[in-house]
């Protein structure tokens, strides 16, 4: 069970978010300011933080900077009453991973939390080895036989996802939800475009290939070998 820390000084909203998370089978901790959140983090294992921006004693920006400065890698979903580009930029520069503008939709919040946790789980795996090929998640690189390629983030995430579960057929919508999350103006054509680029780059690759399964989606298969 994943653990979520909710840092929100509005008592009613805090309780409402916590209740929704418990209903979704998360283990929930509650704080009402950034300092209280840090105290909980010192004692408990937390997988993700949902934090308000405006809180007493220590706001969400300061909490995020404190955690990133201490090299806490856990994802942070920021909730804000402000929707200006300046405030959004301030949050991302502080180190947040995603944001929502009040009033929030609790169902959307659960979707965003799920997407962030899936990405964090992939990141924690760090490296994937396929025969002579190594995918390094932190460096967004693919290395084999003395050659090394650094891929654009979305291409790498897509390739890593497919190779991490070989022979599994992913629908295009699953891949959109997994790789692009809640980004606006994203549809299944993005998946097709990225798959085409990956096929072109690795068309003569000795270890794997990406196949389209008509009417279903796509999958990665290994050539003449298994994952070591």
Q: Which residues of the chain have pLDDT under 50?
A: 225-228
pLDDT in tens, 50-85: 999 999 999 999 999 999 988 888 999 999 887 778
Q: pTM higher than 0.75 for the full model?
A: no
| Per-residue model confidence (pLDDT) at position 227 | 40
Helices (H) and strands (E) in the chain, counts: 8, 11
Which residues are CB-contacts of 161 (< 8 A; sequence separation ≥ 6)?
122, 170, 175, 178, 179
Q: How far apart are the first and last CA of the chain?
A: 29
Residue 182: the pLDDT is 60
Query: Which pLDDT value is given to residue 183?
Result: 61
Task: Give me the pLDDT at residue 184, please.
Answer: 55
Q: Which two tokens stand for residue 144?
A: 């084999």
pLDDT at 226: 42
Give the C-alpha separation, 122 to 118, whole Å: 6
Domains with residue ranges and CATH for the chain: 3-123 (3.40.50.2300), 126-222 (1.10.10.10)
């Amino acid at each position: 069970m994943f653990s979520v820390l909710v840092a929100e000084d509005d008592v009613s909203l805090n309780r409402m978010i916590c209740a929704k998370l418990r209903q979704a089978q998360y283990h929930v901790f509650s704080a009402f300011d950034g300092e209280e959140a840090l105290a909980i983090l010192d004692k408990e294992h937390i997988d993700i933080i949902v934090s308000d921006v405006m809180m007493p004693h220590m706001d969400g920006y300061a909490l995020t900077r404190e955690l990133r400065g201490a090299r806490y890698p856990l994802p942070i979903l920021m909730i804000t009453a402000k929707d200006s580009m300046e405030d959004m930029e301030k949050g991302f520069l502080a180190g947040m991973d995603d944001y929502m503008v009040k009033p929030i939709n609790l169902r959307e919040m659960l979707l965003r939390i799920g997407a962030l946790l899936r990405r964090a789980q992939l990141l924690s795996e760090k490296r994937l080895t396929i025969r002579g090929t190594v995918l390094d998640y932190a460096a967004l690189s693919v290395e084999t036989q003395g050659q090394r390629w650094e891929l654009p983030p979305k291409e790498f995430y897509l390739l890593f996802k497919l190779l991490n579960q070989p022979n599994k057929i992913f629908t295009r919508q699953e891949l959109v939800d997994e790789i692009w999350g809640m980004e606006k103006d994203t549809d299944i054509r993005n998946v097709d475009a990225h798959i085409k680029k990956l096929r072109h780059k690795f068309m003569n690759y000795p270890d794997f290939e990406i196949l389209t399964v008509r009417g279903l989606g796509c999958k990665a298969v290994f050539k003449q070998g298994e994952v070591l």
